[in-house]
Amino acid sequence: MGFFSDLKDDISQAVNEMVPEEEAKAEAAEAKSESKVDSLDLDALLDNLNEAEAPAPQAPVYEEPKNTMKASNETATITAGMAIAGDVVSSGSLELLGTVQGNITINGKLNVVGTIEGDSKAAEIYAENAKITGEINSRGSVKIGQSSVIIGNIFATSAVIAGAVKGDIDVKGPVVLDTSAIVMGNIKSKSVQINNGAVIEGVCSQCYADVSPTTFFDEFKKNKNK
């Protein structure tokens, strides 16, 4: 019995030694198969990418800038005791009783009783007992009341001057100079009304009038020579 027992132990040991070797071979075969599959999948993916057409580059779309400031019916007030150093921008109207050292740009009306050191732009501009050093640009009318002093050019569609202006006045419509008006500068307008007492040092030109004096006399000269 001892011989058969030893033979059984030898066979069992041999089998145990063979199992790890077989398992190693199986694992190697399986890894090789997976590597082959992965290689095939990668090749197929590269082929698909090569066949696919790249999308054409799209030109950038330009969008017009939007105007973020919309007109409103609000009226802001800068009180008499307030002084602002910097530009003022408003979508509504402005009552200025204090002082602004900077440009003013508003969509509505600008009523000035205080002091401005800078350019002013508005739909309409009224100055009463005001001191303004800078250009005045109105899309509508401009009224310079008595005791107001303006040092700068004025641009508007109509103007009534009762104060003092040192600068050119360029108005597409009528200009009225009241009895207390003092103007040191040239006036361009469609028509000019000068009340008794107004003082002007400059040239008045009705260049926006419906009738051109130069054209009239040129035509008159031609007709006379015929």
| pLDDT tens, position by position, 58-77 | 544 434 344 455 667 899 99
If you average pLDDT over every residue of the chain, what do you get? 81
In a domain, residue 112? The reply is yes
Domain span holding position 172: 75-205
Q: Domain check: are 94 and 168 in the same one?
A: yes
Q: Domain check: are 190 and 88 in the same one?
A: yes
Is a pLDDT exceeding 70 seen at residue 213? yes
Q: Domain check: are 4 and 111 in the same one?
A: no
Q: Domain check: are 120 and 192 in the same one?
A: yes
Residue at token pair 């071979």: 25
Q: Domain check: are 134 and 22 in the same one?
A: no
Distance from C-alpha of 200 to C-alpha of 179, rounded to nearest angstrom: 11
Q: Domain check: are 90 and 180 in the same one?
A: yes
* DSSP class of 53: P
H-helix or E-strand spanning residue 183: strand 182-184
In a domain, residue 51? The reply is no
Q: Is the CB of residue 166 less than 8 Å from the CB of residue 182?
A: no
Q: What pLDDT was estimated at residue 65?
A: 42
Q: What pLDDT was estimated at residue 176?
A: 97
H-helix or E-strand spanning residue 221: helix 213-225
Q: What pLDDT was estimated at residue 23?
A: 56
Q: What is the pLDDT of residues 72-128, one digit of tens each?
A: 789 999 999 999 999 999 999 999 999 999 999 999 999 999 999 999 999 999 999
Domain count across the chain: 2
Q: Domain check: are 26 and 87 in the same one?
A: no
Distance from C-alpha of 105 to C-alpha of 117, rounded to nearest angstrom: 13
In a domain, residue 5? The reply is yes
Q: Domain check: are 10 and 91 in the same one?
A: no
In a domain, residue 186? The reply is yes
In a domain, residue 62? The reply is no
| Dihedral sign for Cα atoms in the order 156, 159, 165, 166 | positive
Q: Domain check: are 87 and 199 in the same one?
A: yes
User: What is the Cα Rg of the chain in Å?
Assistant: 46
Q: Domain check: are 17 and 82 in the same one?
A: no
Overall pTM surpassing 0.85 (yes/no): no
Q: Amino acid identity, residue 204?
A: C
pLDDT over 90 percentage in the chain: 60
Q: Is the CB of residue 183 less than 8 Å from the CB of residue 200?
A: yes
Residue at token pair 């002082």: 99
Residue-by-residue DSSP string for 55-111: PPPPPPPP-PPP------S-EEEE-TT-EEES-EEESSEEEE-SEEES-EEESSEEE
Please enumerate in sequence order all residues whose Cβ is within 8 A of that of 119, keeping only pairs 6 or more positions apart, or say none.
103, 104, 134, 135, 136, 137, 152
100 phi, psi to nearest 5 deg: -125, 125
In a domain, residue 223? The reply is no
In a domain, residue 126? The reply is yes
Residue at token pair 């007709």: 223
Q: What is the pLDDT of residues 170-202, one digit of tens each?
A: 999 999 999 999 999 999 999 999 999 999 999
Long-range interactions of 126-135: CB distance < 8 A, separation 24+: 127/163, 130/96, 134/103, 135/167
Q: Domain check: are 97 and 200 in the same one?
A: yes
